[in-house]
Structure 1
Amino acid sequence: MAAEDEPQLALVLQSLDDDQAQDVVTIPLEGKSSIADHMVIASGRSSRQVAAIAQKLAERLKQAGFGNPRIEGLPVADWVLVDAGGIIVHLFRPEVRSFYNLERMWGFGDGAVGAA
C-alpha cells in the first residue's frame, strides 16, 4: 500500500464502521489496476442507509482534506460508487451486492482483506 493512501483508507474504513456498514471488504488493486490502489466494498441494510453512508463518507473525506469525492448512484442507492481518487468505494444493498459479486470478479481471497 502506498504510504499516502494509509490515512485515507483508515478514514474510509472508520467512516464505514461509524455508519454501521456491513460486510466491509478491502481489495488491494496496486499492480492489478490503474483505476485505484484500493477498492472497498460494503453493504447497507436499505437504499436510504446506503445513500447516507456514501454522503457521510464524502463529507468526511472532504473535511479531512482528501478532495471532493465523486458520488454516482444517488438517489436510487442500490449501488453507490464513491470515487475518492486512490480508493474506490462500492456501497450496495445486500441483494444487489450478491448479484454483481465484485469480490469474486476482483479475486477476493487473492490478497483481499476483510474488515470488521
Structure 2
Amino acid sequence: MKLDDGAALPLILGTLDDAKAEDTVVIDLTGKTSLADSMIITSGRSNRHVASIADRVIEALKESGQHGVKVEGMPHCDWVLIDAGDVIVHVFRPEVRHFYNLEKMWGGDRPGERAVS
C-alpha cells in the first residue's frame, strides 16, 4: 500500500517539525529526475537527534500505510537517507550536510526551491 499522491510530503514535513529538525529545505524534482518528485534535506543537532528524526519519519510513514520504505545510514547517523518513493529524505548532522552540499548539487538555490520554517 502507498500513500495517496502528494500525501507523503505534508506528512513528512509535519513529522520533521514535530521532531525539531532544523534548516529543512524541500527541492521539487518534478521533471528533473525519475528518482522522486521531491527531496527533503534537513538537519539534526547530533547523531542521536538524526537517529530520532529518522525513526519518527519512518514510523509515521509506516503508520500511514506506506510500505517498502528504504533506509540507509542508521548505524552511524551522520547522514540517514529515507526513500519513501515519491519523496526522498536526507537527515544530516550539520557538518556532514555542509560537506556534501546537496542543495547546490540538486539546484536548491534555484528560484522555486523553498526553505521550510
Match of residue 31 from structure 1:
31
Verify the 8 A CA contact 1:58 1:68 in the aligned structure 2. no
The Cα of 1:114 is off from its aligned counterpart by: 0.9
Letter in 1 for 2:27: I
Match of residue 90 from structure 1:
90
The Cα of 1:74 is off from its aligned counterpart by: 1.0
Match of residue 100 from structure 2:
100
Check if 1:115 corresponds to 2:110.
Answer: no
Match of residue 63 from structure 1:
63
The Cα of 1:68 is off from its aligned counterpart by: 3.7
- Structure 1 residues 115, 31: closer, same or farther in 2, change over 3 A? same
The Cα of 1:69 is off from its aligned counterpart by: 1.3
Letter in 1 for 2:86: G
TM-score, length-scaled by structure 2: 0.93
Structure 1 residue runs without a partner (length 5+): none
The Cα of 1:31 is off from its aligned counterpart by: 0.4
1:59-79 alpha-carbon deviations (Å, 9 max, x no partner)? 110101122411100110000
What is the aligned-residue RMSD (CA, Å)? 1.0
Match of residue 14 from structure 1:
14
Match of residue 53 from structure 2:
53
The Cα of 1:13 is off from its aligned counterpart by: 0.1
Give identity over the alignment, percent.
Answer: 53
Report how many residues are paired: 113
Match of residue 73 from structure 2:
73
Verify the 8 A CA contact 1:29 1:39 in the aligned structure 2. yes
TM-score, length-scaled by structure 1: 0.93
Residue 5 of structure 1 aligns to a residue whose secondary structure is coil
Verify the 8 A CA contact 1:25 1:114 in the aligned structure 2. yes
> Following TM superposition, where does structure 1 have runs of at least 4 consecutive aligned residues deviating by more than 6 angstroms?
none
The Cα of 1:115 is off from its aligned counterpart by: 0.4
Structure 2 residue runs without a partner (length 5+): none
Residue 6 of structure 1 aligns to a residue whose secondary structure is coil
